[in-house]
Every structure is written in C-alpha cells, then in structure tokens.
Amino acid sequence: MENIERARKPEVVLLSHTPDPERIVATAMRQSRFKGGVVGVKLTRDDIKRLIELALNLKHFSVFEHVNFTFAIEGISRSCSHQFVRHRFFSFTQQSQRYVKEHGFPFVIPLTIQSEERALSLFLKLMEDIDDAYKELSQLVPVEDARFVLPNATETKIVATANARELMHFLKLRLAPVAQWEIRALAESMFNEVSKVAPNIFKENNIKFFE
C-alpha cells in the first residue's frame, strides 16, 4: 500500500474567534433590554451570565450573531464535508482538488469497515486501484479531471467560520443521535473547542433552546 495514508480522526483547531465573545453577546442583549447605550457599560461576569440566560430563555437569537468562530478542520472525508457545507450560514474554504494534486491520497475508513476483515480487505484493495488509476490519469489528463475517480472516502481539509447562532443550530442537528457518525464526531470536536472560550453560550444544556 505504498503512499496510501491511513485514516485519521477529525482534527479541529479553533483558529480564531471574536475577542471576549460572551461579553459581546451580553452587551447586545443589554442594548435590547435597557435604557441608554452600551458604550462604556461595565458588565460583571454575573451580568454576562444572566444576560446570556435571558437571551436564551426569550429565544432572542440575533444577539448570538455578533460573534464569530473560525475552525481549521482536517481528517474528515469528502462525504462528511459534503454534509457540512449544506449549512448555509457558515463560510467555507476547502482544499481544492483542481489545484492540489493528491500524492497517494489519504482517506477515511469507517470503523465498521476497519473492524470487519473482509470489508477492510475489499475497501483497501479498491483504494489501491483508485490510487493507481488516479496517478496514471494525472499523467494523461488535467488533475481537475483525474480527480473524478477519487471516492467519497478521500480526506479533505477545510476552514469554516460561523457565528454562535449558526454554530448552535449546526450543533443541535449534528450532535443528535440520528446524525451520521463522522459529522457527529466533527460536531463534538467543534463543541469542545468553543465551550472552552464561551462556556456560558456553548453548554450542552443550551442546545435545546436553538432552532
């Protein structure tokens, strides 16, 4: 299996986010509910927590749109990224298969296949054949056409940005037990990252408030 890299689990890094995201959300909520402006208003950590809870209880979701989170994601399949990019309020930049030539293309192997000997042997044999065909085609036609033989299992890398409202909507759909295992693993990793920087917003118990 020369050059064929074995699958990895999704790797998610929170590249950047709006500074002090909870304060911004709480400030927007305060603007909505109190007389006067918000410039120079000093909110305590308790105020912030209370204002976020109020926004959630009132389903005042627009206040969550003022803060953005950007993720670098690797080790997901093209099958998973296709599901991911259906979320229209995210911004995405995905590694191009037109301009980036695969060298022994990496791929994701579902656990069910990894744990069944015959399934794994079928799967790996097919990946090897595809790899051979892709390499040969790449010498004969442009890479953008050779890529037509690459499978859904092909690993991809993607940068994704969303505001907290869209992120919570995504998490609600994709952490649910009915979601497919790979995008659920991706959603779990994303949730773990954002809950470190905005724990009062990204709480498991808060997901139910969102639509």
Binder to ligand FAD among 179, 184, 206, 209 (CB under 6 A)? 179
- Each residue of 91-125: b (16+ CB within 10 Å) or e? eeeeeebeeeebeebbbbbbeebeeeeeeeeebbe
In the complex, what is the shortest distance from the CB of residue 181 to ligand FAD, in angstroms, rounded to a whole number?
A: 11
Q: Between residues 34 and 89, which has the closer beta carbon with respect to ligand FAD?
A: 89
In the complex, what is the shortest distance from the CB of residue 173 to ligand FAD, in angstroms, rounded to a whole number?
A: 4
Q: Which residue is nearest to ligand FAD (CB)?
A: 88
In the complex, what is the shortest distance from the CB of residue 186 to ligand FAD, in angstroms, rounded to a whole number?
A: 12
Q: What are phi and psi of 179, to 5 degrees?
A: -70, 155
Of 12-20, 72-80, 81-89, 144-152, the segment contacting ligand FAD by CB under 6 A is 81-89
173 binds ligand FAD (CB under 6 A): yes
User: In a 10 Å sphere around its CB, with 0-12 CB exposed, 13-18 middle and 19+ buried, how is residue 36 labelled?
Assistant: exposed
In the complex, what is the shortest distance from the CB of residue 174 to ligand FAD, in angstroms, rounded to a whole number?
A: 6
List, by residue number, the catalytic residues: 174
**Whole-angstrom distance, CA of residue 101 vs CA of residue 99:** 6
169 binds ligand FAD (CB under 6 A): yes
Which residue's entry shows tokens 């990895």? 8
Q: Between residues 147 and 165, which has the closer beta carbon with respect to ligand FAD?
A: 165
